[in-house]
Chains A and B, each alone.
Chain A
Amino acid sequence: MNIQVIIPLIIFLLAIFAVGFIASKQMGGKTGFLQEYFLGGRELGGFVLAMTMVATYGSASSFLGGPGTAYTVGFGWILLAMSQVVTGYFVLLILGKKFAILARKYNAITMIDFLKARYNSSAVAILSALAIIIFLFSAMTAQWVGGARLIESLTGLQYTSALFIFAISVLVYVTIGGFRAVALTDAVQGAIMVIGTLILLIGVIIAGGGVPAIMQDLLNENPRLVTPYGADGSLTPAYISSFWILVGVGVVGLPQMAVRAMSYKSSRAMHRALVIGTIVTGFIMLNMHLIGIFARPVLPGIDVGDKVIPLIALEVLPPWLAGVVLAAPMAAIMSTVDSLLLLVSSAIVKDVYINFIKPEATEKRIKQISIGVTALLGTIVFLLALQPPDLLIFLNLFAFGGLEAAFIWPIVLGLYWKYGNKYGAILSMITGIASYIAIHFYNTTNGNLFGVHTVTLPILLSLIAYIIGSLAIQRKAFRF
């Protein structure tokens, strides 16, 4: 592989290192170690908040898988991807100021702290911690594999060495810098995604001879590529629309997003993040997926979807610029992984260790445990990613949809519905995860039930479970 491609990637990694290191130096002790390490002291400003939300959410799937699918099925997939614009404003407006105020009032550092206080229940806390640890741990490992594969394909290194480079880069700054380092590096990574996608889009359009020429090529090849129905006409409006739940409004139930909604310092920061987040999400998604479909006439015959972006970048850009652009999917994967790593670590340290095992732990001990657990987790993930076990790949399938179905109602209705109680929350979480797994199996063998994505029904069922559980057993209004 070309050395000119690798140099910008190395510079990128070094820059991320530097930012993480600087962030770790900023960790002051004024609000206590836990709040500093897992929540950045609730001091995020608007720009960093917006970027860390976009970057955490935009993962390998939006940067490699998504454009690859757009390459194969055409404009219908960009239509689908654009349902994600909603996440830019929806998460912050729905959780909004009430979540931020209550989190401060309850002194909540993790999403589970909030649930535990709201429902006054240890069972809710344990169940949530288990769900987060199991599913997000699997999701994280899958992302590491993606990150290592990307380095492997770009540099020609062995998979193991690539994984090692990836693991070390992420581990060092997350372990020493905590949430602040994650958020700040996310901001840098987000900026790289914006610039990288724009450069590549322009490069592809020039290589294709302009948008009208590309469109004519697509029409000549298969007119269905420019319809909303997919290359073989199989994308129905109901199926595409159901992604509004999975990658749109349902994102409000993801713990890694919820924890960000309690980390900003003022309502002014939140207002700025709303605007920046919406614009950046839409811009990245639109560019990235347009690149995918525009790449088709320029570089026909790519079989593996994930390779479309790396190959087209190397094809249409000078090598050094391709290196800069390919730092973008790298950034997307790293920014997702670092957030998940810290989140799983916080679930173990704060929600399990301090809540249930040793509430009287000293500040110094907590510090050792937090850093130790984060480093240990990263090492385990590294070892597992060397040869991912089938169980892990299997659990990863349920990670996002399953967590959305589990948490969306306990969080959202817990905030806004005073009759919501622990019985409803527990019933809703169990129903959400169980029905998600059941419907997943049904859909894989029989085709999609009602023609919609797997996530749709579990979200409805867990809503019903929440309401029934809350009203049937103990109807009592909660005082926020």
Chain B
Amino acid sequence: MPTNPQTQKTYKPDPRFKIAHKEAKIGIALAIFNFIWWFGFAYGLGNRPPEQYTYTFGLPDWFFYSCVIGFILMSALVIVITKYALTEVSLEPEPDQQKEDSQTP
């Protein structure tokens, strides 16, 4: 088990940081995907003359796919990633104390 890094003579990064770094990369990947989806549908479909737009639930197609579906898709992705790709770790300064609360109000 790792001991308190502050008392260690040789520096070893906190193993929880590896998890944190992975999750930050997931955040960047999500944002890039979000941007491409948003931009692609908005300007891919939206640059036609308005007479050629089709309408879904009354909304212009570029908007419906870019913003409505895009939002629903991102929410679904965040749910899935939170459930399967993120790891629960203790946030306490000393990682030995694994007293992660299991209840949130």
Is B a genuine binding partner of A?
Answer: yes
Let me know if B74 and A282 touch, CB within 8 A: yes
15 of the cross-chain contacts (CB-CB < 8 Å) are A78-B67, A79-B63, A82-B70, A86-B35, A98-B16, A98-B24, A226-B60, A228-B43, A228-B62, A244-B35, A267-B91, A268-B100, A274-B82, A275-B75, A286-B68
With A47-B105, A86-B31, A278-B78 already in contact, 7 other A-B pairs whose C-beta atoms are closer than 8 Å: A89-B27, A89-B74, A93-B24, A98-B16, A271-B86, A275-B82, A479-B13
Cα-based distance from A49 to B55 in the complex (angstroms): 37
Let me know if A101 and B16 touch, CB within 8 A: yes
Which residues from chain A contact B62 at a C-beta distance below 8 Å? 228
Residues of chain B at the chain A interface (Cβ within 8 Å)? 5, 11, 13-14, 16-17, 19-21, 23-24, 26-28, 30-31, 34-35, 38-39, 42-43, 46-47, 50-51, 53, 55, 57-60, 62-63, 66-68, 70-71, 74-75, 78-79, 82, 86-93, 100-102, 104-105
Q: Tell me how far the C-beta of B26 lies from the nearest C-beta in chain A, rounded to whole angstroms.
A: 6
Cα-based distance from A399 to B43 in the complex (angstroms): 31
Let me know if A75 and B21 touch, CB within 8 A: no
Q: Kindly supply a per-residue 1/0 record for chain A positions 223-259, scoring 1 wherever the CB is within 8 Å of any chain B CB and 0 otherwise.
A: 1101111000000010001001000110000000000
Which residues from chain B contact A219 at a C-beta distance below 8 Å? 50
Q: Is A100 an interface residue (CB 8 A)?
A: yes
Cα-based distance from A85 to B31 in the complex (angstroms): 10
From B20, B30, B47, B71, A101 is in contact (CB under 8 Å) with B20
Let me know if A85 and B74 touch, CB within 8 A: yes
Let me know if A286 and B71 touch, CB within 8 A: yes
By secondary structure, the A interface counts as helix
Which residues from chain A contact B27 at a C-beta distance below 8 Å? 89-90, 93-94, 96
Contact segment of A154-162, A210-218, A367-375: A210-218
Q: Is A2 an interface residue (CB 8 A)?
A: no
Q: Is A269 an interface residue (CB 8 A)?
A: yes
Which residues from chain B contact A82 at a C-beta distance below 8 Å? 38, 66-67, 70-71
Cα-based distance from A90 to B28 in the complex (angstroms): 7
From B20, B26, B28, B42, A97 is in contact (CB under 8 Å) with B20
Which residues from chain B contact A272 at a C-beta distance below 8 Å? 104
How many residues of A sit at the interface, in one of the four size bands? Answer: 35 or more
From B75, B89, B90, A278 is in contact (CB under 8 Å) with B75
Q: Is A146 an interface residue (CB 8 A)?
A: no
Q: Tell me how far the C-beta of A76 lies from the nearest C-beta in chain B, rounded to whole angstroms.
A: 9
From B43, B50, B78, B93, A105 is in contact (CB under 8 Å) with B93
Which residues from chain B contact A215 at a C-beta distance below 8 Å? 55, 58-60
Q: Tell me how far the C-beta of B14 lies from the nearest C-beta in chain A, rounded to whole angstroms.
A: 7
Cα-based distance from A19 to B13 in the complex (angstroms): 42
From B28, B50, B88, A267 is in contact (CB under 8 Å) with B88
Q: Tell me how far the C-beta of A195 lies from the nearest C-beta in chain B, rounded to whole angstroms.
A: 19
Cα-based distance from A214 to B58 in the complex (angstroms): 8
Nearest opposing residue in chain A for B56, CB measure: A211
Let me know if B31 and A249 touch, CB within 8 A: yes
Let me know if A94 and B28 touch, CB within 8 A: yes
Nearest opposing residue in chain B for A279, CB measure: B75
Let me know if B58 and A79 touch, CB within 8 A: no
